[in-house]
Structure 1
């Protein structure tokens, strides 16, 4: 992942840390140094941040563990300065399963807070709240308070927080899934508006305004993504795949790919050999190789040999999900090792526009376009 480094693997899930996380650590270290001029204070401040993100990591592993119970693998977990993100292969189709997956993260923080409370009581180290601050009070007591905050914050019924997904799951038990998402997104945007007004007019707090923007954008994205997946459901990949495209041979030079890019709009190229599809040459890999080794470099030396594919009978929703998960631009449509076509995010978008035009157009549709209708 770009700007992220793999730091380990827990429970079968790769753990990444984003580069900006180190900026947070540096800022915390500088703040504690400026306040106390003490290496011990800096160490404690950085250790406290690391402990917080240890709890965040356990929160995300809670989601991953619950998802695994329902047969859904987690691709990876990435830690950012604003929190963590567990990338599931997909969300559960059953609303009750989605409810448990969403609730698993906050439940982990509840368990951590309860465990810390028992330890503090046994050690008699509890610090009264009025005597507690960001850098004041017992280490474990402050960590307990942070976990309580994580529970409360994540239970806000707004996307992209867990509370928004829990609300959607509860609504989906009674109404259709897309409608449940729209209602949950609207509630979330209403909460975002309240946060924004409170931050701007009442508390003069930039953080509340930031949270409001974060929630508003997250709600809008979740609603649009759910609508798109619903529109793609039940449509096989073969109906939307690109069938007119350029392919390369393993022995071709990169200069041929450059010619194809200049002659048309295709950016990624399947590499087809005697046995069928052997690789994918992406535009980014192409340009990097040309700058490094020159245009006469063979395609076989640059192409990606590991790549995602989709069967022509698999649904477009599945294909779109794979495009998202692999962070790639092109998905080959393959059957028995033979390349039949290509799926790109652009042609999926164009397919949806055509579908929308057909559904809102006149009753008499041209027969040759009937195959694009999902109904």
Structure 2
């Protein structure tokens, strides 16, 4: 996700925070300190309200992180890698590298998050009761009570059968299991997600019209997000079903134009970018592919330095996300083009020979033709 920065890694999963998270974090502290505490705990002094608000906000987002880690760790156990977890304005999202290929896997991954939240609900409730029993200060009991309720709400909301919420994924897995049709299951679950999204937007507008400005905007925004995600999830499933059936060697563009790492950037611009009108080229050194050079990389080189700067020095080094084998599916190629930020992958055999290329343009052109021929 753009505008995010990494804070740590857990089990090789990158944990990052999006700048939008700070907005909701600040809003939560403000709401707790100026609204919740004064009405529920009027005896708390002002400084305690703000300090407690900050502590509770951090612990609540820690709960959200644990919820997403539940999904992620179960996903990894099911053989599906997880690249990162991002905390953002709507909470958290785990970037699972591919969709589960079996309904039971989908069910296990989807159920893991709410189960973690239910466990945290019970844990915080038990701690609140224990602290109350031993006569601990109210300032220690309050966060436990609040976090207990918040995790129960988090679990309950996520279990609503509306895709892409966890409940929607559970619904999808059940329909998929009995119908044996993953695309149909995704379509039904996405439809419920779209309906729920419109429902939240309607409630949000209603609240706005009745002067509940913040709550109305927030609900409408969440509804819009769920609606958009449900549609894109179904479209993604359709694409996967199409491209899972096609091997890269049947789809790639052959006769790839590559450049030598020792030519200057000026020569690269004049003899390759302007001539062939591509926005990236494979780079070879001593007959072996070593990376890809992009127009974006060249833009950062001052014009006066382009004659003495070699192409190889600005090439993106070859990596796993830049290469597919001819026997891979186009779905694999599509996943890697989305992840590598280059918009294309090189098709190479086990000996490192360059056989072809698959780009986002190839995928979009195929889809355009497919839709024309299949309605």
TM-score bracket, shorter-length normalisation = 0.7 to 0.9
Give the deviation of 1:315 after TM superposition: 0.8
Query: What is the TM-score when the length of structure 1 is the normalising length?
Result: 0.85
One of 196, 220, 223 as aligned partner of 2:231: 220
Return closer, same or farther for 1:276/1:358 CA change in 2, 3 Å cut-off: farther
Give CA deviations for 1:78-101 in whole Å, capped at 9, x if unaligned: 111221111112122110111110
Give the deviation of 1:105 after TM superposition: 0.7
Give the deviation of 1:317 after TM superposition: 1.2
Match of 1:269 in 2: 281
Which runs of at least 4 in structure 1 moved beyond 6 Å after TM superposition? 30-37
One of 247, 250, 262 as aligned partner of 2:258: 247
One of 159, 162, 177 as aligned partner of 1:158: 162
Match of 1:12 in 2: 12
Q: Which moved more, 1:41-50 or 1:226-235?
A: 41-50
Q: Is the 8 A contact 1:116 1:141 kept in 2?
A: yes
Match of 2:85 in 1: 77
Q: Is the 8 A contact 1:64 1:88 kept in 2?
A: yes
Give 1:120-139 correspondences, 5 Å limit.
120-124=128-132, 138-139=142-143
Q: Is the 8 A contact 1:231 1:352 kept in 2?
A: no
Q: Which moved more, 1:184-193 or 1:243-252?
A: 243-252
Unmatched runs of 5 consecutive residues or more in structure 1: 127-134, 361-375
Return closer, same or farther for 1:125/1:9 CA change in 2, 3 Å cut-off: farther
One of 296, 300, 306 as aligned partner of 1:288: 300
More helix by share: 2
Q: Which moved more, 1:346-355 or 1:142-151?
A: 346-355
Unmatched runs of 5 consecutive residues or more in structure 2: 39-44, 210-215
Give CA deviations for 1:216-238 in whole Å, capped at 9, x if unaligned: 11111011110011111221112
Give the deviation of 1:328 after TM superposition: 3.2
Q: 2: distance between equivalents of 1:14 and 1:293? A: 37
Match of 2:177 in 1: 173
Match of 2:219 in 1: 208
Return closer, same or farther for 1:29/1:270 CA change in 2, 3 Å cut-off: same
Give the deviation of 1:264 after TM superposition: 4.2
SS at match of 1:138: helix
What count of residue pairs does the alignment treat as equivalent?
353
SS at match of 2:254: coil
Q: Which moved more, 1:42-51 or 1:350-359?
A: 350-359
Return closer, same or farther for 1:192/1:297 CA change in 2, 3 Å cut-off: same
Q: 2: distance between equivalents of 1:55 and 1:106? A: 11
